Amino acid sequence: MSADAVMEVFERAADAVAEVLAATSDWGPSGLRHSQYAFDVTADDACRAVLHGAGLAVLSEESGVTAPDGSTVSADRPVVVVDPVDGSTNASRQVPWYATALCLVVNGAPQVALVANHASGHRWRAIAGRGATRDRVPISSSGCAEMRRAIVAMSGLPSHHYGWAQFRVLGASAPDMCLVADGTLDAWCDMNNGGHGVWDYAASVLICTEAGAVVGEVEGRDLIHLDHTARRSPMVAASTDLLEVLAEHRRRGR
């Protein structure tokens, strides 16, 4: 399947989640897992139906690793890493900042990515080597290199003030990171120790790098993997200089 064909499948999967959310009346917990909502489960079912229907294996936050035919997914098989609803608590409270994030990973590298904000309608897209877009318009990071000028978003609580100009806590890592890709924000960081699964950031990693932003992990670990149990602390910034300052402060606060 070509990258463009994969992107078309991703669009349909995001549309399927949007339909589930539009029809949702139960915004409460699923009762199946801590911090999981009922709509997380139905959104995951709808999303995987589209992806499996296209013959794609899936690693989902909600349902783990699955294949269309129920077979074991080998390490060298292309896999779609998906968070059906990133920012579920925002969605449950009707805070307009939550998204579906999808990323095709091939041989350990992200190749196709879509982050669809269901509240705003914005869609960030990237194909490896072909740049990134928001609503099909090319995007690039701000290039900001100084913390004192930076607007920094985060997940969790920082241990101290990093010297930023301003900060934001928006509650959904995938679209948060995309705001660094399109230059709205200058940096974003996980302030927890290993607080994110790969589904939270894989799509945004590709979108950010294709837009010229710089991505890292607080402890220097690989961000892209297919281990449902592993957690990482991603960071992204508009420039290498800004990422280095962010990483220095983040490590100091561990």
The reported pTM is 0.96
Query: What is the CATH number for 13?
Result: 3.30.540.10
Same domain flag for 152 and 132: no
Q: How confident is the model at residue 65 (pLDDT cuts 50, 70, 90)?
A: very high
- Domain containing 233 — which CATH number? 3.40.190.80
Token pair of 121, please?
A: 């309608």
Domain match, 8 and 47 both:
yes
Q: 230 and 113 in one domain?
A: no
Nearest to 79 by CA among 232, 228, 236: 228
**180 backbone dihedrals φ, ψ, rounded to 5°:** -75, -40
pLDDT at 89: 95
- Residue 115: what pLDDT? 99
Q: In which band, very low, low, confident or very high, does the pLDDT at 253 lie, cut at 50, 70 and 90?
A: confident
99 and 213 together in one domain: no
pLDDT digits (tens, 9 = 90+) for 154-213: 999 999 999 999 999 999 999 999 999 999 999 999 998 878 999 999 999 999 999 999
Q: What's residue 194's pLDDT? A: 73
What is the count of structural domains for the chain? 2
Q: Does pLDDT of 112 surpass 90?
A: yes
Domain stop point among 138, 157, 189: 138
Domain final residue, candidates 121, 138, 155: 138
| Statement to judge: residues 244 and 151 lie in one domain | yes
Same domain flag for 101 and 211:
no
Query: How would residue 76 be classed by pLDDT, with cut points 50, 70 and 90?
Result: confident
**Alpha carbon distance 237, 97 (integer Å):** 20
The arithmetic mean of pLDDT across residues 214-219, rounded, is: 96
**Identity of residue 19:** E
Q: How far is CA 76 from CA 57, 104, 227, in A?
A: 11, 13, 13
The full DSSP string for 172-240 is -HHHHHHHHHTTSSSEEEE-SSS-B-GGGTHHHHHHHHHTT-EEEETT---S----TT--B-EEEESSH
Q: Taking residues 226-242, report their average pLDDT.
A: 97
Q: Among 138, 168, 197, identify where a domain stops.
A: 138
Distance between CA atoms of residues 41 and 1, nearest Å:
27
3 has pLDDT over 90: yes
CA Rg, the chain, in Å? 17
What's the confidence (pLDDT) of residue 69?
87
Residue reference for tokens 């307009």: 96
> Do residues 18 and 132 share a domain?
yes
Indicate if 164 and 203 belong to the same structural domain.
yes
Q: How much is the mean pLDDT over the chain? A: 95
For residues 126 and 167, state if they share a domain: no
175 and 120 share a domain? no
* pLDDT at 232 > cutoff 80: yes
- Cα–Cα distances (Å) from 107 to 30, 32, 104, 110, 142, in that order, read 34, 32, 10, 9, 30
The domain in which residue 214 lies consists of 147-252
Indicate whether 81 and 22 sit together in one domain.
yes
Same domain membership, residue 45 and residue 110: yes
